[in-house]
Amino acid sequence: MKQIKLSSQAKEQLIRLKTRTGIGQWNILCRWAFCLSLAEATPPTPVEIPADSNVEMSWLVFGGEHHELYLALLKTRCVRDGLDTGDETLLRQFRLHLHRGIGYLATPNRIRGIADLVELVEE
């Protein structure tokens, strides 16, 4: 997983989230989204997600200094969901979790500011 390219829908959702939260970096919002999806009991729906936006980041930018932790979380989730942990599966599952989480965060009136992100952790 070297490069991650988002869908145009996810890009638009992240733009709205950046405005609402004041968080200026895509990768920080993407981390929130990814973790929110991982916390769901069910696996993400296996749909095709287009990589049709100009928003792209490397895995190291996404994960920052904790990129190994995010990879371990993803692998653990794959095992829990009965999936292998090969590179293709990891990339697909990462994209599915990331986009599902962005969709959750972008639900109308769910996130109006940073305080709403913090409340998600307390749920």
In 3D space, the residue among 19, 24, 49, 41 whose CA is nearest the CA of residue 112 turns out to be 19
Domains defined along the chain, listed by start: 3-122 (1.10.1220.160)
* Residue 74: predicted pLDDT: 98
Identify the residue whose tokens are 């004041």.
Answer: 22
**What pLDDT shows up at residue 123?**
66
Query: Mean pLDDT, consecutive 10-residue segments, the chain of 123 residues?
Result: 91 94 93 96 96 94 96 98 97 97 91 86 72
CB-count exposure of residue 110 (10 Å: 0-12, 13-18, 19+):
middle
Q: Which helix (H) or strand (E) holds 68?
A: helix 67-80
All residues at 6 or more sequence positions from 18 whose CB lies less than 8 Å from its CB, including other chains: 24, 26, 29
Report the pLDDT value the prediction gives residue 110, as an integer from 0 to 100: 85
Query: Which pLDDT value is given to residue 122?
Result: 73
| Structural tokens at position 73 | 């979380």
- Contact at 8 Å (CB) between 70 and 63? yes
Query: For residue 60, what pLDDT is reported?
Result: 95
Residue 98, C-beta contacts closer than 8 angstroms, at least 6 positions apart: 4, 6, 10, 30, 33, 34, 37
